[in-house]
Amino acid sequence: MSKQQLDKLLQIFERQPPLGSLTLEEERRTLDEGGARFAVPADVALEPVDARGVKAEWLVAPGTRADRAVLYLHGGGYVIGSIKSHRYLMQNVSRHSGARTLGIDYRLAPEHPFPAAIEDACTAYQWLLGEGFAPGRIAIAGDSAGGGLTLATLLRLRDEGVALPAAGVLISPWADLTGQADAVRTRAASDPMVKPDGLFSLARHYLRDTDPRNPLASPVFADLTGLPPLLIHVGGREILYDDSVTVAANAAKGKVPVALVDEPELFHVWHAFAPMLDEGQRAIEQIGGWLHARFQP
């Protein structure tokens, strides 16, 4: 990472108003417009679909296999974010995993609090199965809240006896909604993107009356036994750093194959800035290669 690349990104972060300082509508529009600054390449096919009532979109890069799919769950604290805000990131996953990527607009809080997002993610996965995709040729991936949602979705599917996908990818996952992890305090000054007050506000919107220690809301408290292999990426500057470390430890405890990629100098979901940051592109390529090796032939 060059100093010039990092400085440009930090300038972008500094120009962003603090989370919670805008209206909900403004917050959602800001993230959507920010994600759209990276145009989806013209060679990527976009196909809107209805996944059993869940608004979804296929993003299909050249060279992908028609029988492989990545169900992608966007970040945004369960309150903001959409297909639009994450199109570039999702097509990049498609390009390097060799799989079609299905992005979904799961229901957002506060209009639709816990567990609406999990219900929609599970519905979309079941839709993929109904479309003829074999479980061993599906992966579920997500960033930030979408990373926590990926884990919660796998847990819900496991508990319901549904055949699980080949793998899960957690990018800077938000997996502890209690806000009590040490990193929330100790890394607050080093995290250029996520601050404790904004995190607490998002959690209140999503949880409403739900206990934050509910394992489907905060998967750091879940027994992960029986889940498919997991790949976790986390940056050393993140206030969510402990979430990734705890999930990795719990996965190993549950005999789940897990790989934790810890990038000490990087920040929350650096993958989204691949067009501006070499490390972001390399991280996506690493995810793609890992998924290639997990899909059943």
| Nearest by Cα to 104 from 131, 84, 133, 89 | 84
CA separation for the pair 114, 108 (Å, rounded): 9
Whether 96 sits among the annotated catalytic residues: the reply is: no
CA separation for the pair 147, 60 (Å, rounded): 21
CA dihedral 40, 85, 175, 267 (to 10 degrees): 70
> Does residue 50 sit in helix, strand or coil?
strand
User: Do 169 and 197 form a contact (C-beta atoms < 8 A)?
Assistant: no
Candidates 82, 144, 172, 218; catalytic one:
144
Whether 85 sits among the annotated catalytic residues: the reply is: no
Name the burial class of residue 48, with classes exposed (0-12), middle (13-18) and buried (19+) by CB atoms within 10 angstroms of its CB.
Answer: exposed
Candidates 238, 244, 271, 279; catalytic one:
238
| Nearest by Cα to 240 from 283, 294, 191 | 191
Instruction: Give me 176's structure tokens.
Output: 């502890």
User: Do 85 and 100 form a contact (C-beta atoms < 8 A)?
Assistant: no
Whether 268 sits among the annotated catalytic residues: the reply is: yes
Strand order across the 167-171 sheet: 45-51, 54-60, 99-104, 65-73, 138-143, 167-171, 230-235, 258-263
**Which residues are part of the catalytic machinery?**
144, 238, 268
